[in-house]
Amino acid sequence: MGAVFLKLAFIVVAGTIIYMLGYLFVNALIRFSA
């Protein structure tokens, strides 16, 4: 049970970091292209 919870938590954290990086990247692209 603990291993499954750790794997799920890792996926959530990794997804959040990737989402934030993608958001910042798109923000920078919009700012530079404008």
Which residue segment(s) compose the domain that 34 sits in?
1-34
* Structure tokens given for 22: 């993608």
> How many domains does the chain fold into?
1
Q: What is the pLDDT of residue 14?
A: 98
How many angstroms separate the CA atoms of 3 and 20, rounded?
Answer: 26
Q: What is the pLDDT of residue 12?
A: 98
Q: What's the one-letter identity of residue 1? A: M
Tens digits of per-residue pLDDT, 1-34? 689 999 999 999 999 999 999 999 999 999 999 7
φ, ψ for residue 28, nearest 5 deg = -65, -40
Q: What is the pLDDT of residue 34?
A: 75
Cα separation values, 19 from 6, 11, 24, Å = 20, 12, 9
